[in-house]
Amino acid sequence: MQEMEIMDIFIKTRAYLQGHFKLSSGLHSGAYLQCALVLQDPIIAARLCKSLAEKFRVDKPDIVVGPAMGGIVLAYELARALGARAIFTERDSEGKMSLRRGFRIFPDNKVLIAEDVLTTGGSVKEVIALLDREDVVPVGVASLIDRSSEKIDFSGIKQESLMKINVPTFQGDACPFCQEGIPVDKPGSKK
């Protein structure tokens, strides 16, 4: 799929939002990509994930793991496209990323991490740390959108996205929208 086609999907599904947003990373931005609005359509989700899965077919993952919430549907559809198992991580009562609900990963598993949008890579890094505790080195990181301002260092782990988008982000104290007094919207999944 071409990036223009992907952006067109985000615009048509009203998943590309403009305004003043506080992202899950804590950064502020004038645009927000609400992947849940895109992934709510199973036909679109399958099409996007089939295209993204092709970037990892050679790696032959047998598990696709996504951090809750944004990575759950993506992990499921990528796993379907790759013939793999889909699981997700979530925060425990102490706020630490963990495997729950009986999900297990073993050192011989080939694990692909799936995230909807990369900004700072914080959630993915938490999943990598979790996998490291299980003696698992992931085969890659897959995302629909990479909106990071700089290349994120995932310790040499392969990283592929369907689309790279440049949308400036700001620390709260340097945010021009805050300085103009524009109300902030926080649509992300972190509290």
* Domain residue limits, the chain: 3-179
Residue 92 clears pLDDT 60, i.e. is over it = yes
Segment 155-171 mean pLDDT: 92
* Mean predicted confidence (pLDDT) in 101-130: 94
> Which numeric CATH code is attached to 3-179?
3.40.50.2020
User: Which of 146, 79, 145 shows the shortest CA–CA distance to 113?
Assistant: 79
Q: Does 189 score more than 70 pLDDT?
A: no
> What pLDDT score was predicted for residue 151?
87
pLDDT at 70: 86
pLDDT at res. 95 = 87
pLDDT at position 63 over 90 = yes
What is the rounded average pLDDT for all residues in the chain?
A: 93
Quote the pLDDT of residue 190. Answer: 59
pLDDT on residue 23:
86
What confidence tens digit (pLDDT) does each residue in 10-29 have?
Answer: 999 999 999 999 988 888 99
Q: How confident is the model at residue 89 (pLDDT cuts 50, 70, 90)?
A: very high
Look at residue 156 and tell me whether its pLDDT is greater than 80. Answer: yes
Across the range 149-153, mean pLDDT stands at: 86
